[in-house]
Amino acid sequence: MDIVKYMAVGTNNDPTRSTFPIPAAKLQARKWKTALGSPITWAPYLPAVGAFAFLDATPAVFAMLVAAVTAGVAFYWKTHTATLEGKLLEELISESNREQDRELVEHARGLLGRGYPDYASTLGSFLERKQQIEQAIHTDGELTLEKQEVESLVDAVVFGVSDQLHRLADFDDRLGKPGMIPVTPDQKTKMQAAREEISTRVHDAYDILQETWHNLGEIINPAAHLDDHDTGHHSLEHAIDRLRQERDIAKRVRDRMTDDFGERFAPEDSNKNQTTEAGAEKE
């Protein structure tokens, strides 16, 4: 995975609800844990220990062997840092997304358990689209700032919808079971209005998520990164726009004059056609 170096910085107040930013400390801790637990790190020391224990190597020789091995191990990890970070970054992102999915599934089960299968199904639809977008984002192994932003916004939308669906369930409980907690007419009116507003917001959220999915290629790989000569020519486009405007103005003027003063101001081609047709009739 190609890494955006300044990606793994900052803080994440709620890592369950948002994958990014991944704190640098978290990535560094995972890197140390992986490196220290790898046989590549500790296996090269075994011959040095064996030489000291079984071949009666002097402490000086043992120290030299350890220093040589340490230098070799350090050089290996230095040259493989980018590869290791990319692999660990993929792991952290996958772990975060799986944890988010588990929590959203629990939210859906909670709605189902409260007797709101439609709300649970709605949240399931959001979760499905979220998973599709994330899979598409990480297919090519290149992590760009655009992809991070899209994934963060998708996370915010889906978890926000989950919260709103639970609010709808709360309103429905109050409105559908007024005997449990008394509801005044004014409270009922306000809750119904709030319920409609939330429902509209959820529908809007799904529409924007659908648009994001259908336009994902343009969003995460915009044509703006192309050179100017690849995307167009400013002066040519300006000239085309100006001619198009002049053509439209001329057509409107001609149509207006034709309506006001008759065929004298009709298009020249039209007059020629009419003259030709008249001559043909005389013949």
Phi/psi region, residue 232 (left: phi>0; alpha: psi -120 to 50; beta: rest), is: left
- Measured between alpha carbons, how far is residue 29 from residues 74, 88, 181, 227 in Å? 17, 10, 51, 40
Residue 223 has pLDDT above 60, yes or no: no
Counted residue by residue, the chain has a size of 283
35 vs 114, residue with greater confidence: 114
Cα separation, 23 vs 145, whole angstroms: 15
Q: Is 90 helix (H, G, I), strand (E, B) or coil?
A: helix
Residue 129 has pLDDT above 90, yes or no: yes
pLDDT tens by residue, 62-114: 677 777 777 776 776 677 677 778 888 889 999 999 999 999 999 999 999 99
- What pLDDT, on a 0 to 100 scale, did the predictor assign at position 7? 45
Other CB atoms within a 10 A radius of the CB of residue 19 amount to: 22
SS3 labels along 142-190: ECCHHHHHHHHHHHHHHHHHHHHHHHHHHHHHHHHCCCCCCCCHHHHHH
Tell me how many degrees the CA angle 111-121-138 measures, rounded to the nearest 5: 110
* Residues 84/77, Cβ–Cβ less than 8 Å: yes
pLDDT-based confidence at 200, cuts 50/70/90? very high
pLDDT-based confidence at 265, cuts 50/70/90? very low
pLDDT tens by residue, 145-161: 889 999 999 999 999 99
Which of 68, 33, 62 has the alpha carbon at shortest distance from 48? 62
- Measured between alpha carbons, how far is residue 156 from residues 17, 123, 159, 252 in Å? 7, 13, 5, 49
Dihedral angle at the C-alpha atoms of 60, 66, 71, 75, nearest 10 degrees? 160
**pTM, rounded to two decimals:** 0.64
Domain locations along the chain: 24-37+80-225, 230-274
